[in-house]
Amino acid sequence: MIARANWETLQLDLRATNMIDSMGLNLLVSIIKLARTRQSKITALIANQNVQRALCFTRLNTQMELIAA
């Protein structure tokens, strides 16, 4: 049996990100699903308005907390 690390919060640092394409959005959905299986909270640090708009448009902002950085 493989021991899994326990973590309460997953923080994604997207401050250097200027845009998110469909592959990036799909990756975020996969990460959110994984974090949910571990009952973990997800936060994302965001510095770019385009990234924030993309996450809001796709409603991923309802699945994680967005923090303007």
How many domains in the chain?
A: 1
Residue 5 within a domain? no
Q: Which long-range contacts (CB under 8 A, 24 or more apart) does 61-66 make?
A: 63/32, 64/12, 64/32, 65/41
pTM: 0.83
Range of the structural domain that residue 58 is part of? 10-68
Low-confidence residues in the chain, pLDDT < 70: 1-5
| CATH value at residue 24 | 3.30.750.24
Residue at 23 is within a domain: yes
pLDDT tens digits for range 48-57: 999 999 999 9
Residue 3 lies in a domain: no
Residue 24, pLDDT score: 96
